[in-house]
Amino acid sequence: MKTNSDQNVDVSKRDFIKMMGGLATVGVVSTWIPTQKAEAWFFPIQERLNSFPSDISLFKQLYENWSGESHYENAWTAVPRNQEQILRIINWAVDNGYKVRPKGMSHNWSPLMLDDHDQITKVLLVDMPSYINKISIDSNGVATAEAGIQMQALMTAMENKGRGFVATPAPGDLTLGGVLAIDGHGTSVPAIGETKLQGQTYGSVSNLVISITAAVYDPQYNKYVAKTFYRNEPEISAFLVNLGRAFVLSAQLQTAPNQFLRCQSFLDIHQQELFARNKDSGRTFSKLLDQSGRVEAIWYPFTDYPWVKVWSVTPKRPLTSKMTYQPFNYWFSDNLIKPLTDLIQKIIVNNSRYLTPTFGKLQFDITKLGLQGSALSDVTTILTGGLASTQIHDIWGPSKNLLLYVKPTTLRVTANGYAVITSRANVQNVIADFCEIYSSKLTQYQNLNKFPMNGPVEIRVTGLDNAQDSIVPNAQTAALSAIKPCPDHPEWDCAVWFDILTLPCTPFAADFYTEIEGWMCSRYQGDSLIRPEWSKGWGYTSTKAWDNTSYFEQEIPRVHAKGQPESLTIQAATNVLKKYDPKALFTSPLLDRLLK
């Protein structure tokens, strides 16, 4: 006789098989296609939406988010060629009762854009990457870019002008509009002795904004028009990180002189050393931060040696570093080999959850072999001046090529996400506490023959979204940023970002996430403050993410109001966004719960 837990597992298996596109049959995970125009249904004018502009492309297609957990069948999608057409689409939607959602690359977990369970609301997606992607960079290094431009294209244009960012999200296929919506970030704080250059920020990409142009309602003309908000205007606070509750058309960004970076990968630092409570006891995370300012730890489950990446500003190529002329250098993490997909099939489809530790070790082994290259890689690096080598554990090049390292072909996982605001001196303690509880929970579940986490823990550290980093005098702070500073704690100068990854539909994952979230919210008080990472999973119940009413109604308003002026609270930002969208076009069920 099956228990409720067994029945839940069976449901998860069915969902997983459906989601992964026949994994059990073909043995591989299907490549994700963000814009499935080959499968789109085009309609003659007489079958299109009533009175929709005939000169704007319109079709139906499947919407699917990054992890494949959110589907929306046959979503009406418009493809405007310029901003004028976007405004016409929006004003058509006003008259025809449609919500309007800007669609980027859908590299997101939280259902900020739409709810696939809502079959009543009429939703029109607006494809941004296809044409709304123009960019120009002036002699002062100010980049003016449309919201649909992808980060790789933006950073390439900047590189050609000798400009760059300190840190960015790792995928190159994110749109600028999407990155600004959720305060997309990388990993960076100043190393000891490092001086911030003009135009740089150690916070999120949103903190680089000089101005934002968005579609807003104009009561004088009774229609939506384009309006530009400047960084020194109070109302821009609500738009800098807007969660998709605004329709951003373009933005101006400050940039800095491009830097050359070296990225070294280490697999020989034991987790007890890296995450030790005493920050001075060996090669700790905090000590690496002091040395380079840019560190990421990827810790596969049931392994002892995390993959540690350390970036350092290095104007000239070190003798042992391989030169890199393009981004996405970690080929092994972007291509799923058959042994890996076979294990995925056994763990999820065949219910062989006991293989999860083996899966973690296999991920580590693949990483180790991929980084090493051939047996003579290090010698070849030196002999050829970095031009001909298969090793990628020590690479060097312009910033773009080191900051972008995740392709759409990487393994699709779900993830939770939080930013813990604290002081630089307390970073090691914050990390040590988390790693202790995480390890304890893994063991606790393992003893019950439960393996909810089969992906890695990822840890990064950034600065905060300090408005003082802006080149604009009297710049405003992003009200909805997860890393806005806490005026009542000026000593809190950085944020530790935590993500725990697992395959979608893994049994007992929601339980694990719920317990970890509860512990984190309880622990990170007094010497720190925890806020959710908008694009990831949070607000957990034992059923799913974004489901905890008290987290929505109490926790989120509290952590965004603590020590803040009234103008930087959730409610203040909501009021501004509603003011400029009184027709509630740019919203979704999740946003309606968040921004009441």
**Cβ pair 452, 508 in contact under 8 A:** yes
Of the candidates 88, 262, 294, 460, the residue annotated as catalytic is: 460
CA distance 40 to 62: 8
Q: Residues for the chain: how many in total? A: 596
Of the candidates 296, 517, 533, 555, the residue annotated as catalytic is: 296
CA distance 443 to 422: 28
Decide if 458 is catalytic.
Answer: yes
- Residues with Cβ within 8 Å of residue 569, at least 6 apart in sequence: 479, 557, 560, 561
Of the candidates 64, 146, 235, 458, the residue annotated as catalytic is: 458
Tokens 């990457």 -> residue: 129
Strand extents, DSSP E, 138-195 = 143-146, 163-164
Interstrand relation of 135-137 and 123-127 (parallel, antiparallel or unpaired): unpaired
H or E segment at 372? helix 356-372
Structure-derived torsion over alpha carbons of residues 385, 387, 393, 394, reported in degrees to the nearest 10? 40
Residue 588 vs residues 69, 110, 138, 454, 479: alpha-carbon distances, Å? 17, 11, 37, 31, 20
Interstrand relation of 57-64 and 123-127 (parallel, antiparallel or unpaired): unpaired
**Cβ pair 250, 83 in contact under 8 A:** yes
Decide if 460 is catalytic.
Answer: yes
Of the candidates 107, 262, 412, 560, the residue annotated as catalytic is: 107
Helix count and strand count (H, E) for the chain: 19, 22
Q: Is the dihedral of CA 521, 524, 530, 533 positive or negative?
A: negative
CA distance 253 to 205: 9
Decide if 39 is catalytic.
Answer: no
Helix or strand or coil: residue 289?
Answer: helix
Decide if 489 is catalytic.
Answer: no
Tokens of 9: 């597992």
Closest CA to 319 of 377, 384, 376, 402: 384
Give the residue numbers annotated as catalytic, written as ranges: 107, 296, 458, 460
